[in-house]
């Protein structure tokens, strides 16, 4: 018995574009079978498809960008590591008996330069997601990250972190093992490191789970990633006692890359190819690689004290406001 063809995962706003692309492919196939030249018609339809793609992805709502950030086919930390680095070697364990699969770490070369890489890792299917806790790291994950960052500091290796998590693992066992303490300790230590640190939000950046590896000299965001103190669903449930108001919460949270750039909370938006990262992962990886190389060169030119001062001032300036006299 022949296996049923697996349909691609489509978001609602992607369906009109997919239907048009399917129609183009059907016309091309029929033309080839019947020996008919319809190249002009196909060119016209392809132009329409590209125009539609630009219209869709340039006018996305915050909720739609969140859907893209959570897309099951969106490239993960391991995907980017394989695409942009050489000689990747994963290192395991926090040296206290735990090895959290939701947060991976290791050493590699970026453009020939040795670096330490740390990042959240979601699964590709249900089984893998369960094993990796859907990218929600436990205390052992953050302590593993700390061990690798200490290693980077000792051997003068730049630190690259990739953020993609709904948040830290929120269960009772994680609390027993000191989830809050593990994240807080990472925050403190990351301010003290002499080496360059670059963090990139590649998907979801959720609350303290993201901050646990997010104190950096430069904070980058992929164009369709999000970064917030809580998910829109959680925010709506807390503020309005109604998770169905998540679209409204997504707007209020100012969680998109554009919002955060305007608020000066991030340093750079890494543009994604037309159709978002999941439609062209290799081009996305190439754009990300160049951004990392450029930022790393700038940070390397600074002294360790200049980098630490920059890191400190970046976070001290967050939340600054002006009082307007009545």
Q: What is the pLDDT of residues 14-30, one digit of tens each?
A: 777 777 777 877 777 87
Q: Kindly report the CATH class assigned to 65-316.
A: alpha beta
What's the confidence (pLDDT) of residue 1?
42
Does residue 49 have a pLDDT over 90?
no
Contact 131, 123 (CB under 8 A): yes
Q: Where are the domains of the chain?
A: 15-59, 65-316
Phi, psi (5° rounding) for residue 252?
A: -65, -30
Work out the mean pLDDT of the chain and round it to a whole number: 89
CA-to-CA distance for 268 and 95, rounded, in angstroms? 35
**pTM of this structure:** 0.87
Q: What is the pLDDT of residues 256-297, one digit of tens each?
A: 999 999 999 999 999 999 888 988 999 999 999 999 999 999
Phi, psi (5° rounding) for residue 231?
A: -70, 155
What's the confidence (pLDDT) of residue 153?
96
- What's the DSSP call for residue 325? P
Contact 124, 281 (CB under 8 A): no
Q: What is the dihedral of CA 23, 272, 129, 7, to 10 degrees?
A: 0
Provide the 3-class DSSP secondary structure of residue 175. Answer: helix
What's the confidence (pLDDT) of residue 2?
46
- For 91, residues 6+ apart whose C-beta sits below 8 A from its C-beta are 105, 106, 107, 148
């Amino acid at each position: 018995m022949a296996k049923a063809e697996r349909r691609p995962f489509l978001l609602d706003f992607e369906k009109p574009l997919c239907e048009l692309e399917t129609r183009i492919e059907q016309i091309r196939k029929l033309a080839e079978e019947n020996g008919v030249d319809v190249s002009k018609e196909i060119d016209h339809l392809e132009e329409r498809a590209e125009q539609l793609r630009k219209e869709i992805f340039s006018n996305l709502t915050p909720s739609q960008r969140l859907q893209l950030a959570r897309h099951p086919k969106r490239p993960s930390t391991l995907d980017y590591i394989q695409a942009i680095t050489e000689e990747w070697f994963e290192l395991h364990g926090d040296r206290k008996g735990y090895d959290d699969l939701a947060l991976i770490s290791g050493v590699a070369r970026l453009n020939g330069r040795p670096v330490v890489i740390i990042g959240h890792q979601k699964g590709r299917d249900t089984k893998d997601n369960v094993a990796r806790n859907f990218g929600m790291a436990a205390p052992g994950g953050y302590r593993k990250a700390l061990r690798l960052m200490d290693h980077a500091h000792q051997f003068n290796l730049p630190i690259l972190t990739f953020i993609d998590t709904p948040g830290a693992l929120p269960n009772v066992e994680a609390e027993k093992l000191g989830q809050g303490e593990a994240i807080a300790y990472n925050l403190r230590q990351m301010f003290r490191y002499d080496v360059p640190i670059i963090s990139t939000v590649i998907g979801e950046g959720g609350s303290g789970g993201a901050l646990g590896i997010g104190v950096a000299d430069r904070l980058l965001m992929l164009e369709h990633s999000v970064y917030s103190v809580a998910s829109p669903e959680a925010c709506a449930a807390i503020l309005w006692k109604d998770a169905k108001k998540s679209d409204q919460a997504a707007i209020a949270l100012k969680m998109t890359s554009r919002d955060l750039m305007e608020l000066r909370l991030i340093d750079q938006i890494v543009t994604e190819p037309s159709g978002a990262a999941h439609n062209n992962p290799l081009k996305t990886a190439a754009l990300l690689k160049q951004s990392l190389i450029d930022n790393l060169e700038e940070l390397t030119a600074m002294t360790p004290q200049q980098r630490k001062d920059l890191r400190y001032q970046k976070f001290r300036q967050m939340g600054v406001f002006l009082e307007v006299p009545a």
